[in-house]
Amino acid sequence: MSLLEVDDLHVRFPTETGMVEAVRGVSFSLGRERLGVVGESGSGKTITGRAILGLVRKPGQVRARRMLFDGIDLARLDERGMRRLRGQRMAMIMQDPKYSLNPVMRIGRQLTEGLRLRERMSPAEARRRALDALEAVKIRDPERVYDAYPHELSGGMGQRVMIAMMLIPGPDLLIADEPTSALDVTVQAEVLKILDDLVRERGMGLIFISHDLKLVSRFCDRVLVMYRGKVVEEIAADRLDQARHPYTRGLLNCLPRIGGPRGHLPVLERDPAWEEA
């Protein structure tokens, strides 16, 4: 049985200027594997992730034929049940660390709060677990960062703190939303290795949202390509260079290369027909 099953998911937002159809009939299933979700900004990647975790805020409307997590029907869960799942079995690394870290609370307290409340761990042990997690994401001086406030961290450090925070409870399903967009490739490689180990050794299911096609093709098993709220292509990750959809192909051409030609990079010419694919 798969870990997660999503069948015909729709998310829409009523706004002053009409209805925004953010997700329009997305279906997929996830095993204990690394599933990539790519697509340009605004294509519905983040909202899909938030909908699975029950994190779409009002006035947003979520509707699906079925959403099953490990046999649990997510549509029937009340807010309390959902919150319990989110704390322990499912987690999401948010795209923007500035939004998910509390600006007036020290990092250490944010990392240990769950451990002390849910797992009734002693303060000393919780601290040790948190420091280990910071070290695992290659924070050079974990002790200082433990005592720091979010504004004292660089962009990439904030992102790594977020990752550490989500990994501490050891979830079965992790949705990582652009988790390495602020990291240089060397640190990125370390972070990916942590995620990879969790999938291989602990059997975690990973949804890896990214706008970086090359990264996803190296790191994931399977890739969904989203365009305007729909999945327009599903492809084995190592065959992404053979993608058929013009949007996917176009994206690959836009990237600069070391030693590549200078001046203008090719940009994507969007075609309204892609929406119907």
Partner 1 sequence: MTAMIEIDGLDVTFRVKGHEVQAVKGARFTVGEGESYGLVGESGSGKSTILRAICGLAPVTGGTIRIEGRPLGPRRDKAFASKVQMVFQDPYASLHPRHTLDRILSEPLAIHGIGEHDRRVVAALESVGLPASFRFRYPHQLSGGQRQRVAIARALMLEPEILLLDEPTSALDASVQAEVLNLLWDLREERGLTYLMVSHDLAVVDHMCDRMAVMEAGRIVETLERPDLLAGRFRHPYTRKLFEASLAAGG
Ligand X SMILES: Nc1ncnc2c1ncn2[C@@H]1O[C@H](COP(=O)(O)OP(=O)(O)OP(=O)(O)O)[C@@H](O)[C@H]1O
Ligand Y SMILES: Nc1ncnc2c1ncn2[C@@H]1O[C@H](COP(=O)(O)OP(=O)(O)O)[C@@H](O)[C@H]1O
Residue pointed to by tokens 């798969």 = 2
Query: Given the DSSP bridges, would you call strands 66-69 and 72-73 parallel, antiparallel or unpaired?
Result: antiparallel
To ligand Y, the closest distance from the beta carbon of 264 in angstroms equals: 25
Binding flag, residue 33, partner 1 (CB under 8 A): no
Scan residues 239-258 and list those touching partner 1 (CB under 8 A): 250-252, 254-258
Among 91, 162, 176, 213, binds partner 1 (CB under 8 A): 213
Which residue, 32 or 211, is less far from partner 1 as judged by CB? 211
Query: What is the CB neighbour count within 10 angstroms for residue 2?
Result: 16
CB 188 within 8 A of CB 159: no
To Mg ion, the closest distance from the beta carbon of 15 in angstroms equals: 18
The amino acid at 94 = M
Binding flag, residue 147, ligand X (CB under 6 A): no
Task: Tell me the two tokens of residue 4.
Answer: 């997660």
Among 154, 186, 267, 269, binds Mg ion (CB under 5 A): 154
The amino acid at 162 = M
Spatial CA neighbour of 147 closest among 111, 107, 115 = 107
Among 185, 201, 272, 273, binds partner 1 (CB under 8 A): 185
Among 73, 119, 125, 152, binds ligand X (CB under 6 A): 152
CA 142 to CA 130: how far, in whole Å?
A: 9
* Positions in the binding site for ligand X (CB under 6 A): 151-157, 182
